[in-house]
Chain A
Amino acid sequence: MKTFKIGGIHPAENKLSATSPIEVLPLPKTVYIPFSQVLGAPSVPVVEKGAKVKVGQLLAKGEAFISANVHSSVSGTISKIDDIIDVSGYKRKAFVIEVEGDEWLPDIDKSPNIKNDINLTPEEIINKIKEMGIVGLGGATFPTHIKLMVPKDKQAEVLIINGVECEPFLTSDHRLMLEKGEEIMIGTSILMKAIGVNKAIIGIENNKPDAIKYLQELSKDYPNITVQALKVKYPQGGEKQLIQALTGRYVPSGKLPIEVGTIVNNVGTVYAVYEAIQKNKPLFERIVTVTGKHLNKTANFKVRIGTPINLLIEAVGGLPKDTLKIISGGPMMGKALASLETPVIKGMSGIVILTEKEKISSRQYNCIRCGKCIQACPMGLQPYLLSLYSIKDDFEQLEQNNIMDCIECGSCGYTCPAHIYLVDNIRAGKNKVGQIIRSRVK
């Protein structure tokens, strides 16, 4: 069975919520929609305080190159524009909307009917994706329309759809593939038309046999789309790892996947693209897994963007008594949250709740040079060395040792028998080196 070759680990899968169907979470009373939900510049607001908005109405326009439109996820009144702590851990400007009813913009198609015909031209598709504020829903939230704009000197050959979901605990993509398979197939066809390729591969890890079987069945009607089962290995959902696993091609250091003729999109994004193109629906809701070993139940919720996460946690029966961490995203790459009022944003794929029982020693020991981190690193780096250089602020050596290639997947820290905070140190160093490189360009 196919998989990527360099490094990788296999943490306990813990896909507890894999059998829970997607539930629609009741509307919250108040939503907090941050201006900036994507990698890149914050969007510019187009509505003011006190304005009445409908579901799907444009709130903020992405004017910079890397930024995306933000739409209202509820109908109601904008009571204020305030600083709230978002997933970044910092205070960011956000719309605070008091919910009144559920009135959608009239041109959004709310019917569950599946629309097969793709009537738009490639340019129209990309423009529509931009207009609807679609971003990569795998977690990095890179604006999708930029991904689809193939540079003139490059040629896309194959579209890769990422249904791997290699993070432990998370099941939102899994449930989406099971329940919205038909839509994902049409969404894939739309993206293929947009970038002008006639081949698409959907990569799914082998721990989701039901999803593989279902999509393979569906793909019989779509001769250009193949569904490929992959061996379970973390971080297979990383863009470069997935390309390597499915096509055998290696993306060169510092380059984008288009360099080897591929474009990668998450299944969640593909579903959002389907809804945007066929149903005229902007991206204002997503699937969020709420999970944890000691919760009363685990669930996959369809949530409006901006819902505070405490409502999601209440819906699964509240926090366990000895809660240690609430993580946005998966346990490997996710980020522990400092506040329960944090709203759901476009990039939040799950909420994982860990308790004291799952705690491992947080004491750091000295590096014993065992090399486990080097074996685990999927990018072929030397994490222990990067971590050391990072502590010593040796930026020259960091750059020479390709720190910018690090995808921050956390494999090195997971395997480290000395519990060294390798990823923390490397991230700090990567950030500093990134600043130096950017200042050099100017």
Chain B
Amino acid sequence: MNSVILYAIIALGSLSMSFAIIIYFVSNKFKVIEDPRIDEIQELLPGANCGGCGFAGCRNLAEAIVKATNLDNLYCPAGGKAVAEAIAAKVGLKVELKEPMIAVVRCNGSIQNAPAKAKYEGTDSCYFINLLFTGESGCSYGCLGAGDCVKACKFDAIYIDNNTNLPIVIEDKCVACGACVNACPRNIIELRKKGPKNRRIFVSCVNKEKGGIAKKNCNVACIGCSKCQKVCKFDAITIENNLAYINFEKCTLCRKCVAECPTNAILEINFPLKKEKVEKEDINVV
């Protein structure tokens, strides 16, 4: 009985010994030398694999950063400033800090502003509705409200408001990765500068139709009247195809265009309420 156990131990022991030796030599022969910094950088990255940096995932970005000689195009929008600085310190390169961006929904065609003229019944996919028809409001540029952007967001930073049927971006959660921008079949969502104190001004419309037609479907459509362009002192507003666009690099947030817009298509976000101005004439009288 004892001898059986002994033979078994000897046989299995020698087998495992010889395999161990083979494995040792094989692993030495085919050793992959990987930069340990890849793992370290990957640790620093958020790990959501959102694709906002242009790579397939966080690991791919980390690999690229280790190989790179400068960090110009290797920026993790989800991590932002803190992550960029930590990575720069790790690889010993300088990083140019980018302005924080945020996804902006350029459509204000809510149920109230653009009432439905037809009812859609079918699968919940903006992409599919966009194949079918103009959308319930009749505006062939406006938001369809089926939430392709919500499905694309990996940070739960966007949701469809039940009252307006429009997507709303949660400012604290949005990392400007651009997933929703790509998911929107009508190119309504744009990445814009977050702005000082999160204050932003933008044209909340992408309708390129002539003014009258656009206004027929939506109360707050941009009609391309170019009043905002005339009032802007900084050449920040361009009008193309009956649609105004505010260049966020040039805009100084003076808010003159907001007051001028006849259809309230220009939105101001996070500004304090305006104080009532005292008319000059009144002062003179006193």
- Residues of A bordering B, CB below 8 Å: 83, 85, 88-91, 335, 338-339, 362, 391, 421, 424-425, 427-428, 431-432
Contacts and interface: CB of A to CB of B under 8 A. Distances in A.
B128 A91 contact: no
A90 B133 CA distance: 6
Interface residues of B, number: 16
Contacts of B213: 83
A427 B125 CA distance: 11
Given A83-B213, A338-B118, A421-B123, A91 B134 contact: yes
B132 A425 contact: no
Given A85-B134, A335-B132, A338-B134, A90 B127 contact: no
Residue among A338, A362, A427 having the largest count of chain B Cβ atoms under 10 Å: A338
A256 to B, nearest CB: 24
Nearest to B117: A338
13 contacts: A83-B209, A91-B209, A335-B132, A338-B138, A339-B117, A339-B118, A362-B121, A424-B123, A424-B125, A425-B125, A425-B128, A427-B128, A428-B131
A428 B134 CA distance: 16
Contacts of B131: 427-428, 431
Nearest to A82: B213
Interface of B: 117-118, 121-123, 125, 127-128, 131-134, 138, 140, 209, 213
Contacts of B209: 83, 91
Given A85-B134, A338-B117, A428 B123 contact: yes
Contacts of A424: 122-123, 125, 128
B185 to A, nearest CB: 10
Nearest to A325: B121
A406 to B, nearest CB: 14
A421 B127 contact: no
A428 B133 contact: no
Contacts of B122: 421, 424
A88 to B, nearest CB: 8
Contacts of B138: 85, 338
B123 A425 contact: yes
A194 B138 CA distance: 45
Contacts of A88: 133
B140 A90 contact: yes
A421 B129 CA distance: 13
B144 to A, nearest CB: 12
A346 B209 CA distance: 27
A158 B134 CA distance: 42
Nearest to A422: B123
A88 B140 CA distance: 12
A339 B213 CA distance: 15
Contacts of A431: 127, 131
Contacts of B118: 338-339
B128 A432 contact: no
B121 A428 contact: no
Contacts of B132: 89, 335
B133 to A, nearest CB: 3
Given A89-B132, A427-B128, 19 more contacts: A83-B209, A89-B134, A90-B134, A90-B140, A91-B134, A91-B140, A91-B209, A335-B132, A338-B117, A338-B133, A338-B138, A339-B117, A424-B125, A425-B125, A427-B131, A428-B123, A428-B125, A428-B127, A428-B128
A427 B128 CA distance: 8
Contacts of A425: 123, 125, 128
A429 to B, nearest CB: 9
B208 to A, nearest CB: 11
Contacts of B140: 90-91
B135 to A, nearest CB: 9
A424 B130 CA distance: 12
